[in-house]
Chain A
């Protein structure tokens, strides 16, 4: 038992992978496959938030920023690919038929550039912001508020630039995904499988990071930043790395969200959307590996199943989830599980010593 314990999360991820990649596609209808794909995108973001917030103590209230960077990079590429070479996207023509395509769109014609940008953009933005804030020891509530302010600013900026980004209506009507026709059901399943696989990979990455020296340092920084500094490490760098990794995961989640859902708007990246991303993590349990993922899946499912029949009810439930979970279960639902689990090894230990 004791020799097995460190590998339990890995076995858990394995079981989860089988459920997502093998069982779900054979059981669920096309509609639910697509929905589950969308929840997986949020879960990818949640894994990153779990690392930054749960493990690193940085409450990122504006993860929509990075989600948006990846999503809009992907959406610009898909829009251009659907419009065809050397053409101008339809919404731009409607807005101003004579003006050329904005300069920053041009590189997104390239598939390779787009894929690189999905990773590079969040790295650049998170590095600049993280460097500026962590170096000056901005943390806690200040950090949370500043990241949220950035999400608000970005969403407003996108809303107001109609010709450049589609404004409030966002970008939609994508026809192809790297050469695959998006309408095709087989390709939809493929997109779902890619998202699910990325989710599994992200969980593996975080599991491995948490086991590593870096994971120990991150935890130490969260709990006693000054002591880490006295030991000769720079907490700013440790936090920066975790923040950047979580930003990249959010960006990848956003990039997969676009072909699966078929539309991206400023509402998906602003303050309210960012808070929704946090809600799942808080619900599931910020500090555990599975908590954020299961919480994000639950929030995604709750949103689409409740809000379609009872929109205002969903909002009230979401608000209550925040209040009840934070008030009574600050470590999320996973703490209930580990509390129960905590009883089990104690009994096996007793047996072990007896034998």
Chain B
């Protein structure tokens, strides 16, 4: 138990961060069929918002809580811009949205590299996250606990939004039958836009969490985008429940693999794990009938 506990707790926190990164993807990919490769750069934008907030509000105790909604707005607006500028013309070509957003991601990365120092910027964790939580004798950093709580709040909020609000119903109706939804008076255009805004905004929130754990630099988006996509693929598209379980499994598995071998080998093994898993369940953990995806 003593040997199992640290990777389990670390892995759970890693998984929570992956889940935050994957949640918005799961929404835009699963509900709308858009493969947004710039999602990682939206995450990066959230991390930079955390840094910028800190330059204005010097006390990190306050700046981080303020940064979370600001990062949501900032990344969400970037997403809205992307949707209006490019994505809205390509809803019938899912694979091409992948390539177009690769271009967007290249440009955003380069822009970040030129605006911020190349070596990255530091984000101070608030004082109230400095301590540790004692779990069966293991000192669990509070930052990791915070990441898990943040992920839990985001999942609960998103699930409630989709399930109980009238807008959530409109999203689900649009996903299930776009033409019929339009016939009953739902503006699928605005549904698409708001969904994309929220999905991108979640990447911003993930960015704040990531800035507290790892570095904040122009390359950080690439670091999260692939594991996040693996989580979405393994979890089953558009399935919050699947994403939660898949993120946790991938996070914990990577922590255990990293304990047994090295961090880079853990990545290879995690990839192999997802491919093997797809042999058993090619459609992911959970499936739902949606608009045909590529």
Contact = CB atoms under 8 A, between A and B. Distances in A.
Contacts of B145: none
Interface string B55-98: 00000000000000000000000000000001001100111101
Given A275-B102, A319-B103, A141 B262 contact: no
A153 B262 CA distance: 12
A315 B110 contact: yes
B264 A137 contact: no
B157 interface: no
Nearest to A145: B229
Contact of A149 (B35, B263, B264, B271): B271
Contacts of A142: 233
Interface string A129-157: 10011011111111011101110111011
B107 A319 contact: yes
A142 B277 CA distance: 13
A271 B95 contact: no
Of A133, A149, A316, A330, which is in contact with the most chain B CB atoms at under 10 Å from its CB?
Answer: A149
A71 interface: no
Given A132-B275, A141-B294, A152-B226, A312 B264 contact: no
Contacts of A140: 94-95, 293-294
Main secondary structure of the interface of A (DSSP, over half): helix
Contact of B106 (A136, A138, A315): A315
Contact of A144 (B98, B105, B110): B98
Nearest to A57: B95
A32 to B, nearest CB: 27
Contacts of A159: 264
A126 to B, nearest CB: 13
Contacts of A141: 29, 35, 94-95, 98, 293-294
A322 B103 CA distance: 5
Contact of A160 (B229, B262, B274): B262
B294 A160 contact: no
Contact of A136 (B99, B271, B278): B278
B99 A326 contact: yes
Contacts of A319: 103-107, 110
B156 interface: no
A138 B278 contact: yes
Contact of A316 (B110, B263, B275): B110
A265 B226 CA distance: 21
Interface in A67-112: none
Nearest to B108: A319
Interface string B11-43: 000000000000000000100000100000000
A142 B114 CA distance: 32
A340 interface: no
Contacts, number: 121
A149 B225 CA distance: 9
A189 interface: no
Interface residues of A, number: 44
A152 B98 CA distance: 17
Contacts of B230: 145-146, 149
Given A140-B294, A141-B294, A322-B100, A150 B106 contact: no
Contacts of A136: 278-279, 282
B95 A144 contact: yes
Given A149-B229, A152-B226, A322 B279 contact: no
A323 interface: yes
B110 A157 contact: no
A326 B267 contact: no
A326 B103 contact: yes
B107 A316 contact: yes
A320 interface: yes
A152 B75 CA distance: 25
Given A144-B95, A153-B268, A282-B99, A312 B110 contact: yes
B265 interface: yes
Contacts of A45: none
Contacts of A275: 102, 106
A323 B106 CA distance: 10
Interface in A189-236: none
A319 B104 CA distance: 6
Contacts of A144: 95, 98
7 contacts: A136-B278, A138-B278, A141-B95, A159-B264, A278-B99, A316-B107, A326-B90
Interface of B: 29, 35, 86, 89-90, 93-96, 98-100, 102-107, 109-110, 113-114, 222, 226, 229-230, 233, 262-265, 267-268, 270-271, 274-276, 278-279, 282, 293-294
Given A146-B274, A156-B267, A322-B106, 4 more contacts: A129-B275, A132-B276, A140-B95, A148-B226
Interface of A: 59, 61, 129, 132-133, 135-142, 144-146, 148-150, 152-154, 156-157, 159-161, 271-272, 275, 278, 282, 312, 315-316, 318-323, 326-327, 330
